[in-house]
Amino acid sequence: MAFRPNSRDWSMIKLPKKAAVTYTLGMFIYNDETDNVPVTTTSQNNLLGIVAASYASSATTTDIYMWVPNSVNSTFYADGGSGTLTKAMEGDQFDFAADGLSIAQAASIYDTVTLVKFINASTGIFTLNVLHGKD
């Protein structure tokens, strides 16, 4: 399922993509202080938003469209990753998974997101705990 905005508190913007990187629809992006790249398990700050279309790897830098949250209260749907979400997990904090497309339920080193609404065992509605913002 990847990530997708839930609330109306998101804006569509265009940002440059890094050359030779593949971007998948619904992938979360962060800025590594040089480029806008997919989140990793160790890079969960300077969050920007969710990729709005898939982009193949290319040798050139082009622009990508993405949804950017207007605040940390912006909610989004997310796949619970390899674990099983439960109603009792509402309010728990988690990290992004290594694929940039799901939540790592077994990880809470950075506490990047909070589950605000349980939907089913594999899907929930989350908010961000940290945000870079749209400069």
pLDDT of residue 101 exceeding 50: yes
Strand, helix or coil at 4? Answer: strand
Averaged over 60-73, what is the pLDDT?
Answer: 86
Rounded-to-integer distance, Cα 78 and Cα 1, Å:
7
Burial class (CB in 10 A: 0-12, 13-18, 19+), 44: buried
The pLDDT-based confidence of 131 (bands split at 50, 70, 90) is low
Averaged over 86-93, what is the pLDDT?
Answer: 94
- Please give the structure tokens belonging to residue 118: 């349980």
pLDDT of residue 41 exceeding 70: yes
Strands 47-51 and 28-31: antiparallel
Instruction: Name the pTM for this structure.
Output: 0.86
Higher pLDDT, 91 or 98: 91
Averaged over 10-31, what is the pLDDT?
Answer: 90
pLDDT at res. 134? 38
DSSP 24-50: -TT-EEEE-SS-EEE--SS--SSEEEE
pLDDT at res. 30? 87
Higher pLDDT, 129 or 127: 127
Rounded-to-integer distance, Cα 101 and Cα 99, Å:
5
Task: Please say whether the beta carbons of 125 and 77 come within 8 A.
Answer: yes
What is the residue-averaged pLDDT of the chain?
Answer: 85
Query: Which residues, in sequence order, are CB contacts of 3 under 8 Å at separation 6+?
Result: 26, 27, 28, 50, 76, 77, 78, 79, 101
Averaged over 45-55, what is the pLDDT?
Answer: 88
